[in-house]
Amino acid sequence: MPPIAFVAALRRAFETISSQIPEARVEALPTGAAPASPRQISSEGIALIKRFEGCARRRADGMVEAYPDPGTGGAPWTIGWGATGHGIGPGTIWTQQQCDDRLLQDIARHAHEVELALAGAPTSQHEFDALVSFHYNTGAIASATLTRRHRAGQKAQAAAEFARWTRAGGRVLRGLVRRREAEARLYRSAAQ
């Protein structure tokens, strides 16, 4: 059973049992997904994330296995389309469907976090897509100078900030250089 279906089944069972205990104060189980953001990433933004994350380590049997972070050679372990976190480590194996489901959950969560960090600043779809890709990879949208510059309307300076995020494990990684260039190009395309 895919993780989302399992969580939904677990929630239904919990609610059924909870409804039979009138004295109990019961709160809904969290699903792990962020509230839906009114602002959605476009197919172009999803394609950018997929291009750089890849769905690596596909085994001969079609399953996908976790791999160590390229910057550290260890944690955080990654699986599918760049998924990290609790329960992902050496020996973790997922189906392609699990990888795809997690990608959609993670993108929704990151889009919501980007929207919160932007605090209503005018943002084109291309800018939003680039910022979601950046945040998906770095997790730094709330603290990045890039975000402060964007909120201040300093779009050229914000675009230049992407290039500062090319290091992992203390060294510049060519893949991160290419990704930041692609994100900055997408971000700037809003002005064209």
Secondary structure of residue 167 in the 3-state scheme: strand
Packing angle, helices 174-188 and 125-138, rounded to 10: 160
| Residue 160, CA distances (Å) to 110, 121, 163, 187 in order | 21, 18, 6, 10
| Residue of 126, 77, 83 lying closest to 102 (CA atoms) | 83
User: How far apart are alpha carbons 102 and 66 in whole angstroms?
Assistant: 14
Residue of 53, 113, 161, 183 marked active site: 53
Q: In this structure, are strands 171-172 and 167-168 parallel, antiparallel, or unpaired?
A: antiparallel
Known active-site residue 44 = no
- In single-letter form, the type of residue at position 118 comes to L
Which ranges in the chain belong to alpha helices (H)?
3-19, 43-53, 96-118, 125-138, 145-151, 155-161, 174-188
**Catalytic positions, written as ranges:** 53
